[in-house]
Structure formats: structure tokens, C-alpha cells
Structure 1
Amino acid sequence: MTDAALGLTQLLLFLFFIMLGFPIAFTLMAMGLFFGYLGMQDRVFDLLVQRTYAVMANDVLISVPLFVFMGYIIERANILDRLFRSLQLASGSVPGSLAVATLVTCALFATATGIVGAVVTLMGLLAFPAMLRAGYDPKLAAGVTCAGGCLGILIPPSIMLILYGATAGVSVVQLYAAAFIPGISLALLYVVYAIGVGIFKPEMAPRLPPEERNVPVLKIFVALAQSFLPLALLIASVLGSIIMGLATPSEAAAMGSLGSILLAIVYRAFTFQKLKESVFLTARTSAMVCWLFVGSYIFSSVFGYLGGQSVVEEFVKSLPLNTFTFMLLAQVIIFILGWPLEWTEIIVIFVPIFLPLLDDFGVSPLFFGILVALNLQTSFLSPPVAMAAFYLKGVAPPHVKLEDIFKGCMPFIYIVIFCMAMVYIFPGLVTWLPETLYSSGPADGSVPTALDAPPAGGFQEEEEIRLPSMN
């Protein structure tokens, strides 16, 4: 068997094993080491050591545990409950007010956590029952809760964008700036849809009773000042310092973690037990991310060494593709991969297959990353995996069927696809903010080197992975 055939066999066997439910990170390492030994003999163990060290020394990934810790502290400070109640009062006169309050709460909370499971579960316990009690259609209520909870993987500070930046060697700062307008636009489209349903199909989203709509302005202001403003200030300070270049993502995440602790103390919701739980959950999530990166680096390096990446590139180049059809093909493949796989696996394993081809079709890795981030919203909403739907089902009343949750998610999948089309037609939605903020930087338009993500392993060519100790 030739090296290229070994590489393709490696990829196919990996797909087979993850469909059987094997742990992703360790499957990647096992497949990489096995096929690497076949193609490289003992040198694969040098590769294992150096790729593991490269992940642990990647300072871009330092922000991951810090942002995760910030999210878990805020989650346990009961801020979400206060925020939803205040936004419910503020939007009482708007058609579909409970759905609007849910989506705005999700968008704000998503910027503080970026943890989809936490947001969907908490909103499933808080907002979903409130919508059902108000007479909302269960499918609409489910779709609003799931779609709103998924915004955290797109709206900065998104953990997904950090991982993409580390994988593609793209500045996380520029990714945050590029994702800001598309993320807010997607959230606004969700809100417009909810208001439209409230106007044209009021039976699906009944208006609140007059006593809940006619709330004194002073009461609304006090409620917003107590819940909305502190969280908004924390988020604005973290994102603002990153996007304006005042701090690296890791530095801003560290300050955000401290701010979340202070916020929990102010709300009298800080205890040693909650701190212990947050630290434990942060360690577990961070370990998963790091081992996933180690496995993907080893797997992709061996795949590139064996020539598998070259075969894929030559095959794609042989197709009669232009820029539009290439982008369409790539996004369709990622959309389909979102059915059986989670976003982490898609980012660190399959997205690198497309990265070497971007130059051939004149596509910026920054622009491609934002389209992928939008596309991955659907991976949480589309069956059969649809993790957001399963998170909600776990806390929903027994009479709410999983089928109803899936149906409720479908309109929001269409909205995501529409948003992707708008971003492709009007690329300025992605490029305007980073170009405006960083136009005075280096000649190549990048932000300062200290803020750049170092190139990750990706699917490298053979000569690029020959380390000194291997020669």
C-alpha cells in the first residue's frame, strides 16, 4: 500500500471509529501513532512529543480556560435569572415579548459564557417554562431557546473562534472583530422572526396580560440597572480591550475572570463550593480541548506526511470549481458533518482539509472562518445529533417531545443559512470592522504580532514536519 493510500485509509478508519462512539481525542492519537509508525517508524514518537509540547506552549490557548472559568462563575451567580426578568419587563409591550427577552438574554449571556450546553439548559429551566405558561407554541418556544443558546459559539468571546484561530493561524483579535457584526446580525434576525410571529401568528406567541405589559418606567430602569448594566459593563470591558488592541485575549480573559468573581460577590452569590465547582468544570473542559488539539496535531501531521492532504488537494483542484462553487461545496460538507459530529471535531479535524485550498480560490482564512462559525450554528440545531435539542429535552416537561423541539429549530436553521448568504454577498459585514480598526497596523493589514495566533499544525506537507531530532 502506498503512503497516500495509507493516509486515506487513516481518514476513513477514523470516521468509522468515531461513528462507533469512540472518544475523539484518543482515537485521533491512536490512529495517528498507528499509521505514523507504518509510514515513519520510530520517528513518530518524536513527533508525538514535539506536537504535544507545541500545544502546551501555544499561548493563544491560555484564554480558553480563563473564558470558560469566567462563564462558569457567571452561570453560578444567578445572574441569568435577574437578567431575564428585567428584559421581560422591558419588552412587555413588544409582540412576542417573552421570545424576544429570551433571545436577548441568550445573546448577552452567550458573550459571557460561550458554553452552549450551560445557556440552553439554564434557559430551558427559566425561559422555556415561562413561555409555555404564557401560551406559547411549544415548537416556537423550543426553537427560540435552542437557537438563542447557540449564539455563544459565534458572538465573541467565542471559544470556537479561539480554536479556529489556533488551527488556521489566524489572529483571534481579528476573528473577534470580524465575527461581531455577523453575530449581532444573526441575533437580530432571530428577534425579528420572533416579533414577526407575534404579529402575524399571535396564537403562537400570545401577548402578555396588561398588568405585565404596563410596568412603570422607573421599575424597569431599576431592574435593568441591577442586572443588565453590570453584566454589560463586564462584557464590554473584556471585548473592548481585545478588539481595541489594549489587551491580548488571554489578558482580557484573566481580567474577565476576576470581574466575574467580583460580580458574584456583589450579587452575594459567591461561595467556596461554587468556586470549587467552577474550577473543576473548567479543568475538565480545558483538558478536553488540549487533548483534542494534541490528537488532531498528531493525526493531521501524519496525514500530511503520508500524502493524504495532497491527494485531497489534487482531487478538489481537478473539479471544475470557481470561488463560489468551492465555498458552496465546503459549507455543504461542513453542514452535513454537523449532523453526526460536534463543532470541536469539525474545527480541529475537517476544517484544516480546506485551509490549504483557500489560496487557490482567493478566499481569506478570516472570511472562511466566520462562514464556518455561522454554519456550525446549525450543527447544534439539526438532527440527528442536535445537541441543543437534547440539552433542552433533558430539562423540558415530559409532554414536550423531541420531535417538537426539532421542528421548532428548523426556522432558525433557515435564518442561519440566509445570514450566511448575506455575509457571502456582502463580505463587508465581516471585513469592515477589522479593516477599520487595524488599517494602521503592519503593511499586510494584520494586527500586532503579539496578538497573532501562531500557526497550528494543520495538515502539513512532508517536509514541514521533519523535526531536527528526526533527521
Structure 2
Amino acid sequence: MTDPQVAILMLCLFIVLVLLGFPIAFTLIAMGVAFGYYAYYTGAPESFGDIFNNNIFYLLNQNTYSVMENDTLVAIPLFLFMGYVVERANIVDRLFFSLYQAARNLPGSLGIAALLTCAVFSTASGIVGAVVTLMGLLAYPAMAKAGYNKSFAAGIICAGGTLGILIPPSIMLIVYAAIAELSPLRLYAAAVFPGLMLAGLYIVYAMIRVKINPSLAPMPDQEGMPPRSQIYMNLLISFVPLTVLIMLVLGSILGGLATPAEAAAMGALGGLVLAVIYRSLTWDKVKQSVFLTAKATAMVCWLFVGSWTFASIFSYLGGHDVIEHWVVAMNLEPWQFLVLAQVIIFLLGWPLEWSEILIIFVPIFLPMLDTFGVNPYFFAMLVALNLQTSFLTPPMAMSAYYLKGVLKSQIELIEIFKGLMPYLGIVILCMVLMYQFPGIALWFPDYLFGVWVP
């Protein structure tokens, strides 16, 4: 076999192993080392000690060091810590019920409140599993008690819970910035309007669906609802502090007052302050937040070590060149290239999660952007929207499994999948709209930082 053929075999074997359930990070490292040993092999060893005289071990060591000293990635544990503290500060339940009370006269008021809560909490957390799990415990029982259709309620929670990987400050965008060597500030600015557009379309769809078929979401009993003045006070107590914290974090980044890491540090401190204000800060909750942050951060770091080692060997063997030459030889127009890339990423979302797609497959397309004259920030936003589908596309729709995990026998998995399908279509609609109107993604970063010049 030629080296490029070995590279393609390496890629196919990785997909098979992931589908079999092997841990992604360590599968990447193991395959990178195994195929790297072949790629850098210089001849038969003269002694047993020479078995380890191979440049792959030096490459693995250098990649590990590079990840640990990457300044961009410092923001990840800090944003994670902020999210975990907010999750345990009993803020979200207050937020959900106050938003519901404010929207009580709208069709599907509980669903609208759930989507708004997901959008706000997602920006503070960025952890899809945490958002879907918490809202499954909080919002789904309330909707079920009100007589909501099971699939409709589940779809709202699963779709709303994925917004955190798109709406800034998004951990996914930090990872993308590190992989593509782009400015995280411009990526955050580019993601603001696409994120708001997607959340807005979710809400509009839910309202229209209930308006057409009221039996999906009966109006809850209004008896015992507090007066309007009390509602406003509840919103002031629950919605405003968390929103102000998020806006300060995001505003300091987009305004150039702080780097993402510095803003994340202040956000983490702000989360602790909110927990104190709400009288929910305990030593046990802080320990839990620190432990979960360390666990999630370690996973991300090992994913980077493995992916960079895997990608380096894949490129060294000529894998990237084979795919690039194949795509270029098709003589595609830029729009055709964009459609092809997004279709491939969409299909990969069926068996894989966003982290695997982003770290392994997106770098294959990045070198081709110059060839087709595609703005890398515009491409990043298409990918970010597309990656929403990796949580919503069966059979590996992880948001569905998160929700099923907390609801157990209350709902069947197939019912959750049915509820997800309309939101999958909304994501695709958003991608079409953004392609037709690139300013949705590019106007804000160009306004803040000037027109991007390659």
C-alpha cells in the first residue's frame, strides 16, 4: 500500500473504532502512535532499545506540551467552572418559572419559557449535557403536568439545550479557534446573530405549532398566578443578574477589554458571587464544580493531544493531499464546495459527536478555503450551525440520550426522536438563510474589528 492509501485506511479504521464504542481521545492517540510508528520507521532495529527510537514519540511529547501551554484553551476550564457553579446555584429554576409567569398568556408558554431558559443558561454553561439534563428535571415535569404532548416537550428541551455550543461564550468556538488558528473574538462576534436567529426561530416555530394545534400544549391553569408586579420582581431577581453577568463577560471580550481567558476568569468569579447572593454557595457544591471542571478539561486536553497527533500523521502520509486533490479535481464552484462540505459534516453527525467532527474532519476542509475563496469566519459559522445537528440527528442524537437518561420510563426514545425532527429542519433553514445573507455572520465582526483581510 502507498502512504496515501494507508492514510485513508487510518481514517476509516478510526470511524469504525469510534462506532464500536472505544474512547475517542485514547483511540486517536493509539492510532496516531501506531500509524506514526509506521510513517517514521527508518529500518529494522539493531537492538531492543532501538524499538523506541522513533520520531512519533517526540511528536506525541511535543503535541502534549503544545496543548498544555496554549493560551486560547485557558478559557475552557474557567467557562466550565462558571457554568457548573451557576448550575448548582438554584438560579435556573427561578429563571424558568419567572419566565413562564411572564409568558403565561402566550401559546405554549411553558415551552417558550423552557427555550428562553435554555438560551440564557446555555450561554452561561456551554455544556449541552448539563443544560438538557437540568431542564429535563425542571421543565419537562411542568410541561407533562400541564398536558403537553411528550414529543413536543422533549423536542423543545433537546433543541434548546444545544444552543450553548453556538451562542457565545461558546466552548466549541474556542476549540475551533485553536484548530483553525482564527481569532476567538471575531468568531464570537460572528456567532451572535446566527445564535439569536436560531433561538428565535425555535421560539417562533413552537408558538406557531401550538397556535395551529392547541392540543400539543394546553394552557396551564391560571389560578393562583401572582400579580404582574410580583412577576416583574421575580424576573428582576432571577433573570437580570445572570443576564448581566453574561453580557459583561461577552461585552468585555467583544469590546476588546479582555481576552476570552480573562473574561472567563471574571465570569467564574461572577458565578461564585451570584451563588453567594442566592445563598446557595456551599463547600460541597464548590468541590463538585471543581471536580467536574477538571474532568471535562482533561477530556478536552486529551482530545487535542490525540487529534493533533492523528492529524499530523494523516497529513504526513498524504491523506489531506488526496482529499484536497479529489475535491479540487471536481472543478466545483465555491457554493458547490460549501454544500459538499456541509453535507459531509451533516452526515458525520449521524454517528459522531461535535468534538470528533470538529477535531478530525473539519481540518481536512480548512486548507481548501483559499482555493475556493471562502471566508474562514463564514465557513466557521456554517460549521457551527451544522454541528447543532450532531446532537439532534438519530441514531447518535446525544441530547436525546441525555434527556432519556433523566426521564427514564416517562418517555420512549422514539418519542424524543420524533420531537427533534422539526428542529433539525430549522437548523438547516438557518444555514440556508445565512448562505443567502452572509452579513448575518459577517457584519458584526466587520463592524467591531474592521473588514477581514486574508
TM-score by length of 1: 0.92
Match of 1:14 in 2: 14
Partner of 1:268: helix, strand, or coil? coil
Taking the aligned partners of 2:211 and 2:4, their CA distance within structure 1 comes to 58
Flag the 1:224–1:323 CA change in 2: closer, same or farther, 3 A: same
Matched to 2:32, the amino acid is G
1:329 corresponds in structure 2 to 340
CA distance in 1, matches of 2:384, 2:243: 23
Give unmatched runs, 5+ long, in structure 1.
447-471
Residues of 1 paired with 2:222 and 2:104: CA distance? Answer: 9
- Tell me how far apart the structure 2 counterparts of residues 243 and 78 of structure 1 sit (CA, whole Å): 29
Match of 1:340 in 2: 351
Corresponding residue for residue 100 of structure 1: 112
Counterpart residue identity of residue 163, structure 1: V
- Alignment-derived partner of residue 133 in structure 1: 145
SS of aligned partner of 1:211: coil
Q: CA deviation at 1:13?
A: 1.6
| Distance in 2 (alpha carbons) for counterparts of 1:384 and 1:267 | 40
Q: Pick which of 278-287 and 194-203 moved more.
A: 194-203
Structure 2 residue runs of 5 or longer lacking an equivalent are 42-53
1:2 Cα deviation after fit: 2.0
Answer yes or no: is 1:144 the counterpart of 2:156: yes
The residue number in structure 1 matching 2:44 is: none
Q: CA–CA distance in 2 between the matches of 1:43 and 1:228? A: 54
Quick one: which of 279, 304, 315 aligns to 2:326? Answer: 315
Match of 1:421, as an amino acid? V
Q: Is the 8 A contact 2:391 2:397 kept in 1?
A: yes
Structure 2: distance between partners of 1:141 and 1:241: 36
Match of 1:465 in 2: none
1:256 has 2:261 as partner: no
Identity %: 58
Deviation at 1:211, TM superposition (A): 2.6
Q: Distance in 2 between matches of 1:21 and 1:209?
A: 46
- Residue number in structure 2 paired with 1:120: 132
Shift in Å at residue 215 of structure 1?
4.3
The Cα offsets for residues 87-138 of structure 1, whole Å up to 9 and x where unpaired, read as 0111011111111000000000000000000110111011111111111111
Q: How much is the aligned-residue C-alpha RMSD, in angstroms?
A: 1.3
Cα drift, residue 328 of structure 1: 0.8
1:198 CA drift (Å): 2.2
In 2, Cα distance between equivalents of 1:202 and 1:16: 45
Q: Which amino acid aligns with 2:79?
A: F
Say yes or no: does 1:206 pair with 2:208: no
Cα separation, 2, equivalents of 1:181 and 1:83: 23
Using the size of structure 2 for normalisation, the TM-score is 0.95
- In the alignment, is the contact (CA less than 8 A) between 2:446 and 2:452 conserved in 1? no
**Residue 397 of structure 2 is aligned to residue 386 of structure 1:** yes
Please give the residue correspondences for 1:27-426 in structure 2 after superposition, counting only pairs within 5 Å.
Answer: 27-41=27-41, 42-211=54-223, 215-396=226-407, 398-426=409-437
Which stretch shows the higher mean deviation, 270-279 or 42-51? 42-51
Give per-residue Cα distances to partners, 1:276-327, cap 9 Å, x unaligned.
0110100010000000000111111111111111111101111142111111
What secondary structure sits across from 1:210 in the alignment? Answer: coil
Paired position in structure 2 for 1:432: 443
Which letter maps to 2:24? I
Q: Is the 8 A contact 1:82 1:227 kept in 2?
A: yes
The answer (yes or no) to whether the contact 1:438–1:445 under 8 Å persists in 2 is no
Q: Partners of 2:385 and 2:303 in 1: how far apart?
A: 22
Q: Give the AA of the match of 2:427.
A: V
SS at match of 2:396: coil
Question: 2:24 corresponds to which residue?
Answer: 24
Q: Is the 8 A contact 2:400 2:416 kept in 1?
A: yes
State the partner residue of 1:460.
none
CA distance in 1, matches of 2:405, 2:26: 28
- Asked if 2 retains the 8 angstrom alpha-carbon contact of 1:56 and 1:290, the reply is yes
Q: 1:341 aligns to what SS in structure 2?
A: coil
Q: State the 1:207 CA deviation.
A: 1.7
CA distance, structure 2, for counterparts of residue 399 and residue 275 of structure 1: 32
Which one is further off, 11-20 or 332-341?
A: 11-20
Aligned to 1:452: none
Cα distance in 2 between the residues matched to 1:167 and 1:173: 15
Q: Aligned pairs, how many?
A: 442
Q: 1:21 to 1:397 in 2, by over 3 A?
A: closer
In the alignment, residue 36 of structure 2 is paired with which amino acid? G
